[in-house]
Amino acid sequence: MVNVEICIGSSCYVKGSDKVVAIVKNLISEQGWEDKVTVKGSFCIQSCQNKYGLGIKVNEQTIKGVTLSNAKEIIKDAIGNAL
Amino acid sequence: MALFSNDSRQFKFDILREIAEETFGGYLSEENVNAYARKLSPGTKADFRCCVYKEREILRQRARLAMGKMANDVAEYNPRQVVQVIEAACDGCTIRKIRITDNCRKCMSKACMSSCKFDAISMGIDRAMIDYNKCKECGMCVRSCPYNAIVETERPCSAHCPVNAITYDEYGIAIIDEETCINCGQCQISCPFGAVEDISWIVPVIELLNLNVPTYAVIAPSIQGQFENATLAQIKKGIELLGFKGVYEAAIGADAVAFNEEQELIEHIKDNKPLTTSCCPAFVNMAKIHFPSVYEENVSSLVSPMMAIARKLKHDNPGTGVVFIGPCVAKKQEAMEEYTAVDYVLTFEEIAAMLIAKRINCEELDAKEEDYPSVFGRNFAQGGGVSKAVIQASKEKGHDSFTGYYADGCFECKKQLTLIKAGKFNFDILEGMSCPGGCIAGPATIESPNIIKGRMAKENLKTDNKTIEKSLEIFNFDKINLHR
């Protein structure tokens, strides 16, 4: 099972984390990953302070450099590697 | 049924409700905003403004604020500026302070002309006239006219701003100076067009609840009585049904703050410098920005009750979030300070929008009383309640009593802070409340303060006369740092 955690603290919300939730959910249904991937929200995971971009963790590992425009690609690869 | 008699407040609420409903359902999108701007202002005939297109633009700007964006879409992003001008809604009302009206009879005494020290008034064809290049807006002529023909008007927003943070652009549209604004929300209360509103975090909070992130709600004591006849226990239950893991009263934190404030007060009296309270964030902002020396010397180093209970919840339950629900817009900024333990702040309006979106009627819920704080903690919501609680704490500890002064409203706060700065404040403790009447008169309340006062008193009568010490035996703050 792959766990995707998306930060919904105020800093990430402003960068569009609510839209990333929708993107990831679409991705899961597109790829038919419903049984393999879960999406969770979280509070600040310090991505903003470390300038990693949007706060996203896949199986406890912080994914760096995520923005709204590249979110789908990067998260798809990260989940793909984790599966 | 309309919740508010003020049409602009009702529009604001309708927008919040629509956005809450869509976010709960998971289908909020920018395109939908256009759709409900049309839904709320249908047809081609305008009800309130010059045309429906302006009305819809106002609704769109309101929706932007409700989604946590700047009202003005080209403005630089600054969520710390909680209180914002909705440009399209601002009427650009008159900025001439002194005006001569039709009541002028061109009388023979011409008291107005002789009262004017700047020679700004002359007699026109059908009434006296003011030369605005000379007028200094002193108001002498207003007081001298026997017919009350000269009126003094000031724009409500700037008249109610205690720190002169509001100016206008060349078209008369209000501008808030972000450097001087203390986010007290008085302009928001006063604007008859609803053109000043607060930024909302309703979308990310609902998003968190949708994703089942463990989140606690902390409710301000002034929530008592805001939802018709629903009891506090029913309100707590209703909020819990929205998806929160638990609901706690900020009054618990208030008990802890009052108890520790007494200690700090004794030290301040020893050093012979008055202490000021730190629970009203707008009052603290006023001290911080406009009276920095008083902020350093006199403002209590204790955090607010909101922060105290939030720190306790985070200490006892690591990895959870805290959302504060209150009547206050300045709290939204306090939650962004560097020592914060609060993740988001919602207002009563916003929580009401969420409850209605989820079709939850608090009055119909079965709820039972749980552990509750002292009535002193709950009375932080009313003007004068903080000093009363601190006096109670000193009584419980068997200490000497002291003198307190309650500054009711932001202008009184400013006056008393000025006195402290000048060393002419002759009391031990200053309780500052930016809203006249206390938190129950906050910018984002639903019911009027008088109704709330009555309902609070009635409900709190039923509780036992718990002391602050007793309350802190139930809710232990020993391991919590209560300082900034």
> What was the ipTM of the complex prediction?
0.82
Residue B321 sits at the chain A interface (C-beta within 8 Å): yes
Mutation for B interface: A3, A5, A6, A10, most B CBs within 10 A = A10
Which residues on chain A are in Cβ contact (under 8 Å) with B201? Answer: 10, 13
**B74 CB-near residues (< 8 Å, 6+ apart):** none
Q: Which of B28, B204, B211 sits opposite A10 (nearest CB)?
A: B204
Which residues on chain A are in Cβ contact (under 8 Å) with B211? Answer: 6, 8, 21, 39-41
Look at A40 and B207 and tell me if their CB atoms are within 8 Å: no
CA–CA dist B177, B317 (Å, integer)? 39
Residue B79 sits at the chain A interface (C-beta within 8 Å): yes
Give chain A's end-to-end CA distance (angstroms, integer).
Answer: 8
Look at B213 and A39 and tell me if their CB atoms are within 8 Å: no
CA-wise closest residue to B444 among B330, B365, B300, B291: B330
Q: What is the pLDDT of residue B225?
A: 93
CA–CA dist A82, B85 (Å, integer)? 47
Look at B207 and A9 and tell me if their CB atoms are within 8 Å: no
Tokens 């006023």, residue located: B286
Q: Domains in chain A, please, with CATH? A: 2-82 (3.40.30)
Q: What is the pLDDT of residue B148?
A: 94
pLDDT by residue (tens digit) across B322-332? 999 999 999 99
CA-wise closest residue to B475 among B351, B377, B362: B377
Q: Is the dihedral of CA B33, B357, B311, B396 positive or negative?
A: positive
**B435 CB-near residues (< 8 Å, 6+ apart):** B184, B185, B186, B189, B282, B328, B409, B410, B441, B442, B443
> In chain B, whose CA is at the least distance from the CA of A38?
B211
Domain over B71-93+156-199 is classified CATH 3.40.190.10 = no
Contact between residue B420 and residue B445 where contact means Cβ atoms under 8 Å apart = no
Long-range CB contact pairs, B90-96, < 8 A, 24+: B90/B172, B90/B173, B90/B174, B90/B193, B90/B195, B91/B193, B91/B195, B92/B168, B92/B171, B92/B172, B92/B173, B93/B155, B93/B156, B93/B172, B94/B153, B94/B155, B94/B172, B95/B155, B95/B168, B95/B172, B96/B132, B96/B153
Mutation for A interface: B77, B207, B215, B345, most A CBs within 10 A = B207
Q: How does DSSP classify residue B380?
A: G
- Options 3.30.70.20, 3.90.1300.10, 3.60.110.10, 2.60.40.10; CATH for B98-152 is 3.30.70.20
pLDDT by residue (tens digit) across B265-324? 999 999 999 999 999 999 999 999 999 999 999 999 999 999 999 999 999 999 899 999
Which residues on chain B are in Cβ contact (under 8 Å) with A6? Answer: 211
CA–CA dist B396, B220 (Å, integer)? 24
Which residues on chain A are in Cβ contact (under 8 Å) with B65? Answer: none
Query: Nearest C-alpha of chain A: how many angstroms from B133?
Result: 46
> In chain B, whose CA is at the least distance from the CA of A21?
B207
Q: What is the pLDDT of residue B329?
A: 96
Contact between residue A48 and residue A14 where contact means Cβ atoms under 8 Å apart = no
Q: Is the dihedral of CA B323, B326, B329, B330 positive or negative?
A: negative
Contact between residue B208 and residue B319 where contact means Cβ atoms under 8 Å apart = no
> In chain B, whose CA is at the least distance from the CA of A16?
B204
Which residues on chain A are in Cβ contact (under 8 Å) with B204? Answer: 8, 10, 13, 17-18
pLDDT by residue (tens digit) across B110-151? 999 999 999 999 999 989 999 999 999 899 999 999 999 999
State phi, psi for B362 to the nearest 5 degrees: -55, -35
Look at B26 and A43 and tell me if their CB atoms are within 8 Å: no
Look at A13 and B204 and tell me if their CB atoms are within 8 Å: yes
CA–CA dist A27, A34 (Å, integer)? 10
Look at B343 and A43 and tell me if their CB atoms are within 8 Å: yes
Element (H, E) at B453: helix B449-461
Look at A18 and B203 and tell me if their CB atoms are within 8 Å: yes
- Which stretches of chain B score pLDDT less than 50? 1
Look at B207 and A18 and tell me if their CB atoms are within 8 Å: yes
Q: What is the pLDDT of residue A51?
A: 83
CA–CA dist A39, B108 (Å, integer)? 82
Query: Nearest C-alpha of chain A: how many angstroms from B211?
Result: 5
CA–CA dist B348, B332 (Å, integer)? 13
Look at A8 and B68 and tell me if their CB atoms are within 8 Å: no
CA–CA dist B322, B42 (Å, integer)? 39
CA-wise closest residue to B385 among B337, B431, B331: B431
Tokens 């998971």, residue located: B26
CA–CA dist A68, A58 (Å, integer)? 17
Q: What is the pLDDT of residue A15?
A: 82
Query: Nearest C-alpha of chain B: how many angstroms from A1?
Result: 17
